[in-house]
């Protein structure tokens, strides 16, 4: 079997939703296997139909339980669901810690759900390029919704906004820093606020605080989406069907106007920029550039060349 034939079969397997092919393709993406970019290029035209949902929030907010419960609700509606649980990279292997897959084991044996843990590999914002590529694979495989659970939330961790159509921000009561969490850019990135573990004391207060802060912010222009604040108890399934309905409502809202096109154009721009940056970074580490790069860096060291001009010179060498 030739490599080209194997690649063709793999792409065909992904397009028909074969889980073994999906798993192999994502593994090839994570490994940066030769030819994987060409395979992704073939799959790209088959994608573009899935509703991509980002789920972010502070550690301990129950994101994994929420995603698992949400997937169960979507499956009851007959939806095909892909789940990418983005874990912190292992400091030893660079791979993902598989806690999320263990916590989502309730879906084992369901062919309508595909779950994969992926490593951040140190990517700013808790997302790596491999995650975005994996979304394309699940999309091309026919998944109707792709749920992407990120590591956390904060000023530097909003990459999910440039990757998803709908962003859920998950909060919990009783942490003592709810207001600080609200200040950390959360209001700006959330399409839907979810207060999980809403059976705890203080849940009503954080729902009220979030709702109040949304009202105190810039007024929502007529016809624009107003982010709802929903309470859930994921471990008991409470509020999950309402959350699923809000997801559908938000996607329908985007599709009814030009919101969906705007988001997808922004997603495309961010993806192309990330790929271009990766290509330049790869070229900079190319052994063939070693002497020229060393010369430029030596000039910076001796302060005969400023670092800004040096960076420009290195980029020119790589293109």
Q: Which residues are CB-contacts of 192 (< 8 A; sequence separation ≥ 6)?
A: 166, 167, 168, 169, 227, 228, 230, 243, 246, 247, 250
Distances, alpha carbon 89 to alpha carbons 92, 151, 271, in Å = 8, 10, 21
Phi, psi of 117 (to 5 degrees): -90, 140
Q: Report phi then psi at 199, rounded to 5.
A: -85, -5
Q: What is the pLDDT of residue 232?
A: 97
Residue 241 to residues 103, 107, 162, 196, 248, Cα–Cα distance (Å): 20, 17, 26, 14, 11
| DSSP conformational letter for 108 | T
Is the separation of the CB atoms in 156 and 179 below 8 Å? Answer: no
- Residue 111: the pLDDT is 83
Residue 306 tokens read as: 């400023």
pTM of the model: 0.86
Domains located in the chain, CATH noted: 48-257 (3.40.50.300), 285-318 (no CATH)
**Tokens standing for 94?**
């660079």
Q: Which among 58, 123, 119, 128 has a CA at the least distance from the CA of 92?
A: 119
Cα distance between the two ends of the chain: 36
Which helix (H) or strand (E) covers residue 114, if one does?
strand 113-119
pLDDT of residue 45: 93
**CA 50, CA 91: separation in Å to the nearest integer?**
33
pLDDT at site 123: 46
Pairwise CA distance, residues 139 & 53, whole Å: 12
**In a structure prediction context, what are the per-residue pLDDT tens digits for the chain, which is 319 residues long?**
347 769 999 999 999 999 999 999 999 998 889 999 999 999 999 999 999 999 998 888 899 999 999 999 999 999 999 999 987 544 344 444 444 455 566 676 778 999 998 875 544 444 667 899 999 999 999 999 999 998 765 544 567 888 999 999 998 887 655 555 555 566 778 999 999 999 999 899 889 988 888 887 777 777 889 999 999 999 999 999 999 999 999 999 999 999 999 999 999 998 898 888 888 777 777 656 667 778 888 999 899 999 889 888 888 877 6
């Amino acid at each position: 079997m030739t490599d080209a034939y194997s690649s063709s079969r793999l792409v065909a397997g992904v397009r028909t939703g074969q889980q073994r092919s999906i798993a192999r393709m994502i593994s090839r993406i994570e490994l940066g296997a030769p030819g994987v970019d060409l395979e992704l290029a073939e799959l790209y035209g088959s994608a573009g139909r899935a509703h991509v949902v980002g789920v972010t929030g502070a550690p301990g907010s129950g994101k994994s339980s929420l995603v698992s419960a949400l997937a169960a609700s979507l499956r009851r509606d007959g939806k095909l669901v892909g789940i990418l649980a983005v874990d912190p990279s292992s400091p030893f292997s660079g791979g993902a810690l598989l806690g999320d897959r263990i916590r989502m084991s309730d879906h084992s044996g369901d062919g309508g759900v595909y779950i994969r843990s992926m490593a951040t590999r140190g990517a700013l914002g808790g997302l790596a390029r491999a995650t975005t590529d994996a979304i394309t694979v699940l999309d091309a495989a026919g998944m109707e919704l792709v749920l992407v659970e990120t590591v956390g939330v904060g000023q530097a961790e909003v990459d999910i906004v440039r990757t998803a159509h709908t962003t859920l921000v998950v909060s919990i009561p009783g942490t003592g820093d709810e207001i600080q969490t609200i200040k950390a850019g959360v209001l700006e990135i959330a399409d839907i606020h979810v207060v999980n573990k809403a059976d705890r004391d203080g849940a009503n207060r954080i729902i009220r605080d979030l709702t109040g802060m949304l009202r105190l912010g810039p007024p929502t222009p007529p016809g624009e989406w107003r982010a709802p604040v929903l309470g859930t108890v994921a471990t008991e399934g409470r509020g999950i069907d309402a959350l699923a309905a809000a997801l559908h409502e938000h996607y329908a809202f985007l599709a009814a106007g030009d919101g969906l096109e705007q988001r997808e154009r922004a997603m495309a721009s961010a993806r192309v920029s990330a790929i271009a940056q990766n290509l330049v970074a790869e070229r900079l580490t190319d052994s063939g550039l070693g002497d020229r790069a060393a010369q430029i860096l030596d000039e910076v060291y001796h302060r005969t060349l400023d670092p800004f001009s040096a960076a420009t010179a290195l980029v020119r060498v790589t293109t």
